[in-house]
Structure 1
């Protein structure tokens, strides 16, 4: 069925292009593809040329609602939701050995996997994630269960069977042959789902737990099948030092030498990338998934997103559950803003040994909420090489969208109705968006759409 949405609309066209429409429309065809977007005042004229929309299902937003693109989570470990909130006072490698590897080993139990993954997909959709790039575990069959669950609930997803044959506990390690065989079987089983929403992605955990032979073979599989690739890079200092001692080259060069840096690759973190590595990522078209929550909680460091973007690297945002403590990309937006401001402080403040403060002059401009919304929507789609499909409301893209309601708790107590008459429609909409980003939560996400199909509907309480 064709659909037309009327009301306030926001989306981004680039890192610095934030577009609003205070009284607009979006027309969506039967296939869930955006056919047109414009001002409502122009709709009657448009309709005379597109009479097939006369019988369209109409959704008219209230004055307290706005339409925005769905959130994109560029990096989330689906099995780790079961341990969320644990071990976040540990450094990365200790945390992996204490909590993560023992938990992920349990996903050889398909009943356990089914129970966990149903909740993971349900809660990410509730939080407004319309596209997620999921890590599974080493287990082929339970990762297929994750893919089927995302499809059942209507979420768009890239899903990878994790590969790791080295430097892992005995109870959770693969042989090279088994890892490659299961990866190939996994790809075929995902293709058999016959859905454009679900795509397989080649997933070496990271260079510490994969031999060069395995990574090279995975790179070949990705190239043969034109697949997406996801992994980790330069998350913390000890990890970077280990890679340099092991391979005698930079982290990025290890991946590049095995064919894993491509225009369809997303690397999580990138906290400690050197200038030459950033240039290599740019040349290959490889993107970075910024994971501010886990970078902070696991004491990895502050990723300078502005530096990456200025040097031509695509960047999206990841929750990185359970290194991150929230499945909400909206929460990751707030963490992204925090980290960017903290970097500004670091670049500006200089506390001397005698306790006196010296303020350095610098031109660093931290990310603002509009930039962060781009990273969480179109930027994420670009980072996952799916911006031709989703990320904003340009005609020809599929309608992945959120209806946000600012009349719902926790926002309704903070909207001053008597003040609205003194403000322009544009200012009112900007303020609604800011309120949602800084104060709201999943209760304000009224409806979620993927490819024109509604997959979440909140009641207004």
Structure 2
């Protein structure tokens, strides 16, 4: 096995042939078999043809598009393979990747001081930052993550380096310099709200320089979470968000101790909010908008959920982290029923895996635990299906990060952010073609396509991710 990751330009037209699977609706997957998808030099899908083999594609599709065969790269899915949209990780801390799987017996606030802040502060060292960021980008790409909403650190050069490396690797990214001016170690905080704002503007300016159209890399305003930010800082960041119209990412209602701390730090008499709920604090500061990504939302009240829905803010569901840090079980169906858009986040390093697929299967399992505690017990309504968690991992995530209408499904006009998934096809002798060809997923030939996809969701890992493209550019290949 050999893994190749590409970072050079790729301006070739492409023709993809085989089976394509994507989310047609929240609870419905669409299967396109023996199909062809044509992608232009800019990485945009310009044709989707059903019942179209290679011969027909060459004889009809290419001439219709005015493409010569010698200028088109043909990519064919083999037996056991299918194309699926790239995953979108709506919440992860790039700076915490070395601590994945390390959380001991801590809960959130202790874990931050024991493990997180020392590691993040150490990335002011450029060599260490490059080592960590280069690895997390490679790792997430290898798991099919074509877009990630990254938290960096408070350090401007380190944050800028993360943006540079994402651009070079070809991964879509929202990159945020972390803002925090209180309740953190003296060695790791912004000195004043004004300095935090100035450093944030500097990082935004850098990203606009390296990607002026913000087509691949976007800055995102990143107050770490309310307890680590003074009220003046929250308000200044809210004003910056209104001025720039940039997205915002932060945390909300992750665990009860954190919520109690917010209520203590931000009384209505100070914020001017009608109450001291977590959501109201953000809203009073101008940080609860249709461009806001709120991670966790485990313990939102009814009133808070209504406020989040009214403002159009989005939720990043992080089931692995919520379980690992004993934060609780988010009620995703309850959020969706209120019209709140949800995606999935790995939340490394509170979460223990760089895989959005891992987050998807844990989202299914957590929803079953939620159903056990619903009035009456074992409520079927609360349970998420395989189809639904794949929607959250793709189209839901796209809407969370502001890319709806651009990525997440295979339709004309969408951009080709995709992965080629390969499952192990078991032969008559019980063997699988090629060494470790299908990783942990075995298919025997008699499974329906929904069953094959379910096996991938529950058993798959990066060994099943054979190739990954972003805007038509090959950014990862496993051989």
In 2: Cα distance, 1:406 partner to 1:215 partner: 47
Q: Are the aligned partners of 2:439 and 2:460 in contact in 1 as well (CA < 8 Å)?
A: no
**Other-structure match for 1:355:** none
In 2: Cα distance, 1:345 partner to 1:411 partner: 34
After TM superposition, give the deviation of residue 226 of structure 1 in Å.
Answer: 1.4
* 1:452 and 2:472 aligned: yes
Q: Are the aligned partners of 1:288 and 1:383 in contact in 2 as well (CA < 8 Å)?
A: yes
Q: Secondary structure of 2:221's partner?
A: strand
* 1:212 and 2:231 aligned: yes
**Other-structure match for 1:353:** none
Q: Secondary structure of 1:171's partner?
A: coil
In 1: Cα distance, 2:329 partner to 2:411 partner: 33
After TM superposition, give the deviation of residue 28 of structure 1 in Å.
Answer: 0.5
Give the alignment's TM-score, normalised by structure 2: 0.89
Q: Deviations over 1:389-415 (max 9, x none)?
A: 211112212100000111373736764
**Judging changes above 3 Å, is the alpha-carbon distance between structure 1 residues 375 and 446 closer, same or farther for their aligned structure 2 residues?**
same
Q: Are the aligned partners of 2:372 and 2:379 in contact in 1 as well (CA < 8 Å)?
A: no
Q: Are the aligned partners of 2:372 and 2:378 in contact in 1 as well (CA < 8 Å)?
A: no
Q: Deviations over 1:238-280 (max 9, x none)?
A: 1111112222311001001111111111010000011111111
**Other-structure match for 1:311:** 338
Summarize the alignment of residues 253-264 of structure 1 with structure 2, pairs less than 5 Å apart: 253-264=280-291
Q: Are the aligned partners of 1:316 and 1:379 in contact in 2 as well (CA < 8 Å)?
A: yes
In 1: Cα distance, 2:138 partner to 2:443 partner: 33
In 1: Cα distance, 2:360 partner to 2:281 partner: 31
Q: Deviations over 1:316-361 (max 9, x none)?
A: 000000000111111111111110111112226xxxxxxxxxx647
**Other-structure match for 1:384:** 401
After TM superposition, give the deviation of residue 75 of structure 1 in Å.
Answer: 0.3
**Other-structure match for 1:354:** none
* 1:110 and 2:126 aligned: yes
In 1: Cα distance, 2:46 partner to 2:441 partner: 36
Q: Deviations over 1:360-417 (max 9, x none)?
A: 4745240111111111111101111111221111221210000011137373676454
* 1:51 and 2:66 aligned: yes
**Other-structure match for 2:15:** 4
After TM superposition, give the deviation of residue 38 of structure 1 in Å.
Answer: 2.8
Could you list the structure 1 runs, at least 4 aligned residues long, displaced by more than 6 angstroms after superposition: none
Give the alignment's TM-score, normalised by structure 1: 0.92
**Judging changes above 3 Å, is the alpha-carbon distance between structure 1 residues 410 and 310 closer, same or farther for their aligned structure 2 residues?**
farther
2:258 pairs with one of 239, 246, 259: 239
2:198 pairs with one of 178, 181, 201: 181
Q: Secondary structure of 1:266's partner?
A: strand
* 1:285 and 2:301 aligned: no
**Other-structure match for 2:361:** 334
Q: Deviations over 1:17-38 (max 9, x none)?
A: 3211122111101100111223
Query: RMSD value over aligned CA atoms?
Result: 1.7
Summarize the alignment of residues 47-86 of structure 1 with structure 2, pairs less than 5 Å apart: 47-52=62-67, 54=69, 55-86=71-102
User: How many residues align structurally?
Assistant: 442
Which stretches in structure 1 are left out of the alignment for 5+ residues? Answer: 349-358
**Other-structure match for 1:171:** 187
Q: Secondary structure of 2:43's partner?
A: coil
After TM superposition, give the deviation of residue 84 of structure 1 in Å.
Answer: 1.6
1:325 pairs with one of 352, 362, 370: 352
After TM superposition, give the deviation of residue 435 of structure 1 in Å.
Answer: 2.0
In 2: Cα distance, 1:413 partner to 1:304 partner: 30
